[in-house]
Amino acid sequence: MNLDHANFDGACGPPNPGGVGGWGYLIRSREGAVLSSGCGRLAPRPAMTNNVAEYAAAGAAIAGYRALQRPGPLLVLGDSQLVIMQMSGQWRIKAGAYVHVAHRLRALLAECAFAVEWRWIPRAQNAEADALAREGQERAPSPVGDVAAQLQGDGERPR
């Protein structure tokens, strides 16, 4: 790829909704070198869904890239059509447990000095981020403040 890129993924359950959420991301340079990765756990609650976890993962990836202080642009890759289509402006943000997280991610994007492009990829091409999201589900909740915590309510384990 000729752009820095971030893969993200979220997971919830069982059950979904209401289970333990997990999120993960992996950021690579345009040359393919891993720049950053992270994963975290989102506490179970009635409003926890896979879509909420996907949005938390995307937000953590954006924040992780911003912390690297690279100029961008950043290509964000994920297997969640909802996140990709809503953040790229192709779909409206309507209703659901994810709405507050989607609006917070939009606010985070407005603060970024770099351009962000969004692209959907098949699940099979997102295996690394998926593994990180599932690893995040197994983590103990962290008191560390981060974007996923700001978006949803739990902490990150940076790598």
List the one residue out of 91, 74, 72, 73 whose CA is nearest residue 82: 91
Residue 39 CA to residue 50 CA, distance in Å, equals: 15
Question: What pLDDT is stored for residue 155 in this prediction?
Answer: 38
Question: What pLDDT is stored for residue 1 in this prediction?
Answer: 72
Question: What pLDDT is stored for residue 140 in this prediction?
Answer: 76
| Residue scoring higher pLDDT (156 or 102) | 102
Q: Which domain holds residue 53?
A: 4-158
pLDDT tens column, 79-136:
999 999 999 999 999 999 999 999 999 999 999 999 999 999 999 999 999 999 999 9
Beta bridge partners of 118: 76
Question: What pLDDT is stored for residue 148 in this prediction?
Answer: 58
Question: What pLDDT is stored for residue 153 in this prediction?
Answer: 46
Residue 79 CA to residue 123 CA, distance in Å, equals: 5
pLDDT tens column, 27-64:
999 999 999 999 999 999 999 999 999 999 999 999 99
When the pLDDT of each residue in the chain is averaged and rounded to a whole number, the result is: 90
Encoded tokens for 50: 């896979």
Residue 136 CA to residue 128 CA, distance in Å, equals: 12
Q: How many domains does the structure of the chain reveal?
A: 1
How distant, in Å, are the alpha carbons of 28, 57, 62, 143, 147 from that of 155?
Answer: 22, 11, 15, 6, 8
pTM for this prediction = 0.90
Residue 54 CB contacts under 8 Å (≥ 6 apart), including other chains: 8, 9, 10, 23, 78, 80, 82, 83, 98
Question: What pLDDT is stored for residue 145 in this prediction?
Answer: 43
In the predicted structure, residue 154 carries a pLDDT above the cut 80: no
Domain with residue 70: its CATH number is 3.30.420.10
Beta-strand ranges (E) seen in 31-124 are 34-42, 74-78, 116-120
In the predicted structure, residue 22 carries a pLDDT above the cut 90: yes
